[in-house]
């Protein structure tokens, strides 16, 4: 095999890259040599942000010869629609989330080619932990262990960094022969009880490769939803009174009580409304749910889940409502205002709703990924 050289920065491959939010969170300390996403709109945004366009082939059509050199970290955020609580929970066998297997065949190919990535991160919804009674998570972990990786998982919520409730699962895998500093491992806290339950349910031979990752508790969010709002513009018009009244009519007694209390307070109050389909007495009904805790609900794509969220502003005893603007959703994902969003709102909503929160990735990078990489480099130099 020819000798491969690289500059001083560790090399990143980014799969299911979307608009490059993982890359932004990892920062300029990583050198992204390959990115892939078959959504043309997201690829265009990625190109505008970083100066080069991702490979837009279906991941099943990629071969290891398409992947340049040696990667120090592979990041993958495979489609989550079939694993999300908002989806139909068909699991890894479904057409979209099943793209994981096409991705993993590439990783197996790199291992067979003598180019195993030392670090692999797989990001997904927390529903992966329980999808198909935990069998999907066990299948993923088994694939990692069989390929020569040790692994563990953490759940991090964007709400610890941004005013958006967005818990996500991060499976972090490291080659079995790599050094792991002791401070990076240890008993997981109560905040990761879902991970602990999934770990304990793994078959014994799979659980033998498990690592309990230890991360510090995030410092806490310092920004509220109101801090991220844009001034009123024609691009985000307020809903007509009749449409607002229909939203209120879709609220159940609990949500209506929240609204009435805010209206009666006499204070300016900012919240969000999102539509959910709920089952009551065997019937599926669309409900409007409202929150005034300074945090938006989880952003989703225009085609599924609670779809686009609606901003609720109460002032002078009156409710006004409008869609969150594309830029507001970008801010809720931690994207800087300099990030070039698609000009078509639906594409912008899809990009942000499918993404990973930038400061969450940065936190994971600082406290786990870079220390793992640095420890491996130190051990190799010794």
> Which residue numbers are catalytic?
80
Nearest to 191 by CA among 240, 245, 154: 154
Give the C-alpha separation, 34 to 14, whole Å: 6
In sequence order, which residues have a C-beta less than 8 Å from that of residue 75 and are 6 or more positions away? 12, 13, 14, 15, 22, 23, 26, 120, 121, 123
Q: Report in angstroms the alpha-carbon separations of 286 from 250, 298, 347.
A: 7, 17, 25
> What percentage of the chain's residues is helix, strand, coil (to nearest 5)?
40, 20, 40
Q: Do residues 155 and 168 lie in contact, with contact meaning Cβ atoms separated by under 8 Å?
A: yes
Residue given tokens 């991941």 in the structure block: 59
Task: Report the b/e string of 44-77 with b at 16+ CB within 10 A.
Answer: bbbeebbeeebbeeebeebeeeebeebbbbbbbb
């Amino acid at each position: 095999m020819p000798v491969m050289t690289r500059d001083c920065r560790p090399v990143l491959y980014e799969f299911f890259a979307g608009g490059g939010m993982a890359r932004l969170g990892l920062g300029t300390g990583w050198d992204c040599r390959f990115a892939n996403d078959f959504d043309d709109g997201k690829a265009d945004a990625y190109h505008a942000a970083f100066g080069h366009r991702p490979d837009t082939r279906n991941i099943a059509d990629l071969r290891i010869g398409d992947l340049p050199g040696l990667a120090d970290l592979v990041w993958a955020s495979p489609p989550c629609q079939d694993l999300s609580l908002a989806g139909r929970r068909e699991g890894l066998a479904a057409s979209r989330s099943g793209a994981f297997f096409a991705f993993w065949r590439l990783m197996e190919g790199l291992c067979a080619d003598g180019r195993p990535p030392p670090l692999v991160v797989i990001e997904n919804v927390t529903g992966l932990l329980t999808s198909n009674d935990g069998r999907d998570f066990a299948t993923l972990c088994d694939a990692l262990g069989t390929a020569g990786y040790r692994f563990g998982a953490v759940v991090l919520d964007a709400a610890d960094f941004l005013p958006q409730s967005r818990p996500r699962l991060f499976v972090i895998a490291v080659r079995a022969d790599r050094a792991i500093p002791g401070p990076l491992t240890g008993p997981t806290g109560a905040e990761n009880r879902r991970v602990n339950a999934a770990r304990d349910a793994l078959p014994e031979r799979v659980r033998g490769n498990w690592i309990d990752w230890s991360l510090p508790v995030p410092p806490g969010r310092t920004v509220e939803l109101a801090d991220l709002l844009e001034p009123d513009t024609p691009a985000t018009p307020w809903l007509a009174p009749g449409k607002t009244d229909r939203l209120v009519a879709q609220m159940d007694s609990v949500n209506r009580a929240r609204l009435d209390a805010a209206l009666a307070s006499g204070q300016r109050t900012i919240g969000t409304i999102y539509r959910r389909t709920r089952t009551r007495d065997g019937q599926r009904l669309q409900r409007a749910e409202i929150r005034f805790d300074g945090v938006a609900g989880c952003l989703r794509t225009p085609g599924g889940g609670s779809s686009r969220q609606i901003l609720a502003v109460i002032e002078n005893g009156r409710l006004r409502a409008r869609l969150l603007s594309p830029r507001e959703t970008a801010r809720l994902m931690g994207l800087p205002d300099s990030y070039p969003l698609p000009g078509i709102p639906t594409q912008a909503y899809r990009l942000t709703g499918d993404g990973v929160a930038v400061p969450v990735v940065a936190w994971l990078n600082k406290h786990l990924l870079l220390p793992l990489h640095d420890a491996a480099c130190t051990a190799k130099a010794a």
